[in-house]
Amino acid sequence: MNQPLIIALTKGRILKETLPLLAAAGIEPVEDISKSRKLIFDTTDPAVQLLVIRGSDVPTYVKHGVADMGVSGKDMLLEVGGADLYELLDLEISKCRLMTAGIKGAALPQGRVKVASKFTNIAKRYCAERGLQAEIIKLYGAMELAPIMGLADLIVDIVDTGNTLRANGMEPLDLIADVSSRLVVNKAAMKMKHQRIEQVVEKISAAVVAKR
C-alpha cells in the first residue's frame, strides 16, 4: 500500500513563503489554497497531500504521525517541545527573533515580575534560567498591550522590524532565540517512508540553497 506523504503547513504568512520552496521541489497544490476553505489539498505530486493548519498545531500533527512531515516555526517547536520529532532542515524563511520586551526605559519591579506571552513555556524557561521570580500570564494576541495597561512588566514575543514595539512605546530587551521555519519529520514515518521522505527533503534542501 502506497499511502500519500502528508505534509502539514502553517497557514498565513509562513505559507506564502513555504509554497515556492515546495513548488521548486515539484509539489504544488492543485487548487489555490488562499481561495479555498478546504484544509487538505492534493498536489501535482500524486503521492503528496498538504494539510494547512495553525502553526501551533503543526508539531502536534507531526508528533502524532497524522502528518508525516511539517513546516513549523522554531518558536512553536521551542514552545511545544520538538524532542519527539526530527528537525531536518532550516528553511531559512519567516525569519524573526523571539525576544523579551518592556516599556521603554522602565525598570523591572523588585521581587516578582509579571511576564505576559502566548509562549508561556518559553517564558517560564527564560525566567527560570535567569532566576527571575515570575508570574506568567497567558495571552493569545496583542501582547504589546499588556505592559501599557499594567497587566505585565515584560512580554515574550516575536520581533521582526521592532516597529510594533516602537509604535507602542516599548523596546526589545533580551534575545531568547533566532527563529525561522523548520522542516520537521515524524520519527516513525522517517523509518517507514524513508526513501520518499529523503527524496522530498533533498529537493526542498536544493530549493533552499538555490534561494540564498
Between 43 and 94, name the residue whose CB sits nearer to ligand AMP: 94
Instruction: Give 7 or 98: the residue with its C-beta nearer to ligand AMP.
Output: 98
Residue number, 31 or 160, with CB nearest to ligand AMP: 160
Q: How far apart are CA 117 and CA 98, in angstroms?
A: 11
- Residues pairing with 205 in the sheet: none
Query: And the C-alpha cell for 67?
Result: 502528518
Q: How far is the CB of 42 from ligand AMP (least distance, A)?
A: 27
Q: Toward ligand AMP, which CB reaches closer, 26 or 162? A: 162
> Nearest Cα to 139, choosing from 125, 160, 118?
118
Q: Which three cell numbers stand for residue 186?
A: 515524524
- Please check whether residue 136 is in contact with residue 156, taking contact to mean a CB–CB distance below 8 angstroms: no
Q: How far is the CB of 163 from ligand AMP (least distance, A)?
A: 4
Task: Give the nearest distance from C-beta 188 to ligand AMP in angstroms.
Answer: 29
Q: 192 with 43: CB under 8 angstroms? A: no
Distance CA 8, CA 68 (A): 8
CB distance 207 to 92 below 8 Å? no
Point out which residues bind ligand AMP (CB under 6 A). Answer: 73, 94, 96, 157-164
Side-chain-side CA neighbours of 177 within 13 Å: the count stands at: 17
Q: Give the residue with the Cβ less far from ligand AMP, 17 or 68.
A: 17
Distance CA 74, CA 77 (A): 5
**CB-wise, 6 or 101, nearer to ligand AMP?**
101
CB of 44 to ligand AMP, least distance (A): 27
Taking the CA atoms of the chain, what radius of gyration do you get in angstroms? 19
Q: Which amino acid is at 117?
A: S
